[in-house]
């Protein structure tokens, strides 16, 4: 009991310290000063009257949203003896694996740099700056020569690293024994059983209305849809983050989705945010980074070739180029197992005073990175708001999909969860695929790393991402991957090679996400 009280006061102190320097704090102070002129505020009961004033004018709600956002995103303060690396990742061997993976990426980037003799960063000449400023809204028409650039790594390279992940204290001999896992992932992480998943995803159950199922044309809207939309409008009127997060678990109406997501991520369009985006834009114009060419190449290879997203090519450049210069993203490395790479000014290798992070936000894009932004373009049309939403989603969710960590939403746990679900509920299918050399994870890994972006139809993808925001966890990606395999199980049982299995699962664009999830979680006989 005593310990819990101490933990609570430590958490409160931690959050207060975080919020004290934020814009919200100064706004609240200003509002409190302004309220002193109002007749309702009496000197005898000053504290209560001001609190009541905040409640009526909606400032208390804003503060609640900010506190909720802090609690959701940042992990609680750690044990005093634990070093900061422990907060990033508690297991030592995973930290080491992430470190050597980062070293590999770095080596690849360095070798590409020296081969092409391009500097990591350079200041643009004034003529070029003017040209870029004129072309800012149509950077997609630019056709620079990118043939010599290669993406730094692709998801399949990352999968190989995860397959070779081993715990040195774990008994897995080289030969197959009872302790070897039948799937590709060989680390015994904690994942939820299907009964725990059923409790966790209770709002997706068969007797609860869902958007994605109960808004189909055959279902009369009075049964669920109208009431749900009314409820959504009420939530937006209240401006309550926590309520929005709970609401979105049953899906979000298309008309309200943009505002609901902004409310959940606590992103508001203040003039300061617009100014910050403009500052990033001017950084892009003044300096040219090597990472920019990687981003160009990635967008050209992935999003521009996609039927749904090619129209947003210009937006993607505007967001991603600014993203790589945003140093506020460095804050998320406190709870990310990855570390940002450091670069040294020429001639001063190893001296900490001359070290900077490269790229400025510490994130090196890989093949397919731009697909994280592309679906958001359907919701937000203003580049600065689109940018903020993407940045929030990245530092809350997407970073876990490409770093090695034992977190329950990390990609290693998602892979392990997927394999466990498949083995438990479709043992025949799993055995058959394993026998023909088509380990299921090899096919579903690329879906999960991209959060299914580019594989599902956009409306289905947005329904899926509604649930990711609602449950604040990426586990639903693994459940959906298993559900897709369950859906196509009959066809998969007849294939005889990895290529044929991939062909069966090549096209997911006709799938409906919510019925698949419901059937897999609640209607499968186990």
Residues 349-408 that bind another protein (CB under 8 A): 349, 356, 358, 360, 367, 406
Interhelix angle 2-20/59-73, nearest 10 degrees: 110
Question: In this complex, which beta carbon is closest to another protein, that of residue 113 or of residue 523?
Answer: 113
Residue 30 sits in the site that holds another protein (CB under 8 A): no
Separation of alpha carbons 312 and 301, rounded Å? 14
> Which of the residues 243 through 272 are near another protein (CB under 8 A)?
272
Question: In this complex, which beta carbon is closest to another protein, that of residue 153 or of residue 308?
Answer: 153
Give the nearest distance from C-beta 323 to another protein in angstroms.
13
# of chain residues touching another protein (CB under 8 A): 81
As given in the structure block, the two tokens for residue 514 are 């919510």
Residue 347 sits in the site that holds another protein (CB under 8 A): yes
Question: In this complex, which beta carbon is closest to another protein, that of residue 239 or of residue 283?
Answer: 283
Residues with Cβ within 8 Å of residue 229, at least 6 apart in sequence:
253, 255, 256
Give the nearest distance from C-beta 466 to another protein in angstroms.
29
Residue 11 sits in the site that holds another protein (CB under 8 A): no
Residue 22 sits in the site that holds another protein (CB under 8 A): yes
Torsion angle of C-alpha atoms 258, 261, 266, 271, degrees rounded to 10: -20
Question: In this complex, which beta carbon is closest to another protein, that of residue 311 or of residue 356?
Answer: 356
Residue 160 sits in the site that holds another protein (CB under 8 A): yes
Question: In this complex, which beta carbon is closest to another protein, that of residue 265 or of residue 480?
Answer: 265
Give the nearest distance from C-beta 301 to another protein in angstroms.
9
Token look-up 């049309």 returns 381
Question: In this complex, which beta carbon is closest to another protein, that of residue 27 or of residue 406?
Answer: 406
281, 260 contact by CB (below 8 A): no
Give the nearest distance from C-beta 1 to another protein in angstroms.
8
Separation of alpha carbons 325 and 323, rounded Å? 5
Task: Identify the DSSP state of 305.
Answer: G
Options 95-103, 391-399, 466-474, 493-501: segment touching another protein (CB under 8 A):
95-103
Buried b (16+ CB within 10 A) or exposed e, 328-360: ebeebbebbbbbbbebeeeeeeeeeeeeebbbb
Residue 409 three-state SS:
coil
Options 35-43, 92-100, 452-460, 508-516: segment touching another protein (CB under 8 A):
92-100
The site string for another protein over 124-153 (x = CB under 8 A, - otherwise) reads --------------------------xxxx
469, 245 contact by CB (below 8 A): yes
As given in the structure block, the two tokens for residue 163 are 């397959």
* Cα of 215 vs its chain's centroid, Å: 27
Give the nearest distance from C-beta 171 to another protein in angstroms.
5
Give the nearest distance from C-beta 358 to another protein in angstroms.
6
As given in the structure block, the two tokens for residue 211 are 């958007």
Residues with Cβ within 8 Å of residue 106, at least 6 apart in sequence:
341
Question: In this complex, which beta carbon is closest to another protein, that of residue 210 or of residue 409?
Answer: 409
Give the nearest distance from C-beta 450 to another protein in angstroms.
16
Residue of 467, 340, 328 whose CA lies nearest to 397:
467
Alpha helices (H) in 91-167, listed in sequence order? 92-116, 126-134, 155-163
Residue 3 sits in the site that holds another protein (CB under 8 A): yes
Give the nearest distance from C-beta 17 to another protein in angstroms.
6
299, 370 contact by CB (below 8 A): yes
Task: Identify the DSSP state of 304.
Answer: G
Residue 77 sits in the site that holds another protein (CB under 8 A): no
Give the nearest distance from C-beta 107 to another protein in angstroms.
6
> Which of the residues 286 through 345 are near another protein (CB under 8 A)?
286-289, 325, 327-328, 331, 339, 341-345
> Which of the residues 108 through 127 are near another protein (CB under 8 A)?
108-110, 113-114, 117-123
- CA 75-79-83 angle, 5° bins: 85
Question: In this complex, which beta carbon is closest to another protein, that of residue 177 or of residue 217?
Answer: 177
* Cα of 359 vs its chain's centroid, Å: 19
Which phi and psi angles does 490 have, rounded to 5°? -60, -45
Which one of 135, 179, 234, 381 is in contact with another protein (CB under 8 A)?
A: 179
Options 83-91, 373-381, 458-466, 474-482: segment touching another protein (CB under 8 A):
83-91
Question: In this complex, which beta carbon is closest to another protein, that of residue 19 or of residue 436?
Answer: 19
Question: In this complex, which beta carbon is closest to another protein, that of residue 93 or of residue 136?
Answer: 93
Residue 76 sits in the site that holds another protein (CB under 8 A): no
Residues with Cβ within 8 Å of residue 494, at least 6 apart in sequence:
none
Residue 56 sits in the site that holds another protein (CB under 8 A): no
> Which of the residues 436 through 495 are near another protein (CB under 8 A)?
none
Residue of 85, 88, 121, 108 whose CA lies nearest to 358:
121
Question: In this complex, which beta carbon is closest to another protein, that of residue 254 or of residue 406?
Answer: 406
Separation of alpha carbons 406 and 298, rounded Å? 28
């Amino acid at each position: 009991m005593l310990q819990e009280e101490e933990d609570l006061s430590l958490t409160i102190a931690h959050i207060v310290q975080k919020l004290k320097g934020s814009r919200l704090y100064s706004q609240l102070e200003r509002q409190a000063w302004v309220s002193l002129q109002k007749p309702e505020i009496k000197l005898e009961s000053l504290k209560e009257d001001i609190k009541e004033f905040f409640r009526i004018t909606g400032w208390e709600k804003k503060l609640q949203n900010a506190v909720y956002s802090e609690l959701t995103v940042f992990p609680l303060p750690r044990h005093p003896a634990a070093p900061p690396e422990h907060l990033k990742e508690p297991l030592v061997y995973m930290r080491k694996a992430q470190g050597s993976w980062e070293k590999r990426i770095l080596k690849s980037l360095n070798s590409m740099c020296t081969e092409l003799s391009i500097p990591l960063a350079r200041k643009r000449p004034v003529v070029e700056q003017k040209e870029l400023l004129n072309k800012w809204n149509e950077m997609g028409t630019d056709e620079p020569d990118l043939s010599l650039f290669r993406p730094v790594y692709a998801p399949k390279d990352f999968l190989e690293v995860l397959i070779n992940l081993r715990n040195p204290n774990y008994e897995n001999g080289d030969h197959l024994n009872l302790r070897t896992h039948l799937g590709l992932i060989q680390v015994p992480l904690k994942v939820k059983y299907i009964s725990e998943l059923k409790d966790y995803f209770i709002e997706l159950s068969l007797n609860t209305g869902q958007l994605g199922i109960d808004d189909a044309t055959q279902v009369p809207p009075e049964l669920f849809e109208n009431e749900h939309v009314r409820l959504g409008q009420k939530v937006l009127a209240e401006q309550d983050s926590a309520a929005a997060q709970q609401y979105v678990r049953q899906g979000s109406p298309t008309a309200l989705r943009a505002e609901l997501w902004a409310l959940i991520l606590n992103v508001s369009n203040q003039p300061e945010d617009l100014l910050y985006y403009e500052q990033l834009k001017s950084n892009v114009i003044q300096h040219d980074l090597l990472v920019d060419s990687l981003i160009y190449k990635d967008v050209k290879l992935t999003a521009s070739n996609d039927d749904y997203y090619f129209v947003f090519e210009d937006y993607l450049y505007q967001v991603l180029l600014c993203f790589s210069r945003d140093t506020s993203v460095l804050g998320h490395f406190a709870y990310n197992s990855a570390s940002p790479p450091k670069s040294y000014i020429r001639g001063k290798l190893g001296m900490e005073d001359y070290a900077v992070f490269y790229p400025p936000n510490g994130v090196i894009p890989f093949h397919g990175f731009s697909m994280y932004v592309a679906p958001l373009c359907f919701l937000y049309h203003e580049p600065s708001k689109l940018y903020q939403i993407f940045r929030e989603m990245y530092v809350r969710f997407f970073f876990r999909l490409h770093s090695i960590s034992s977190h329950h939403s990390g990609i290693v746990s998602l892979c392990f969860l997927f394999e466990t679900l498949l083995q438990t509920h479709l043992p025949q299918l799993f055995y058959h695929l394993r026998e023909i050399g088509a380990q299921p994870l090899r096919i579903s890994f690329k879906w999960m790393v991209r959060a299914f972006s580019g594989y599902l139809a956009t409306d289905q993808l947005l329904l899926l991402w509604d649930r990711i925001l609602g449950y604040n966890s990426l586990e639903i990606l693994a459940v959906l991957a298993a559900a897709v395999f369950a859906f196509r199980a009959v066809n998969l049982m007849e294939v005889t090679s990895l290529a044929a299995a991939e062909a069966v699962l090549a096209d997911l664009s006709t799938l409906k996400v919510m019925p698949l999830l419901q059937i897999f979680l609640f209607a499968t006989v186990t």
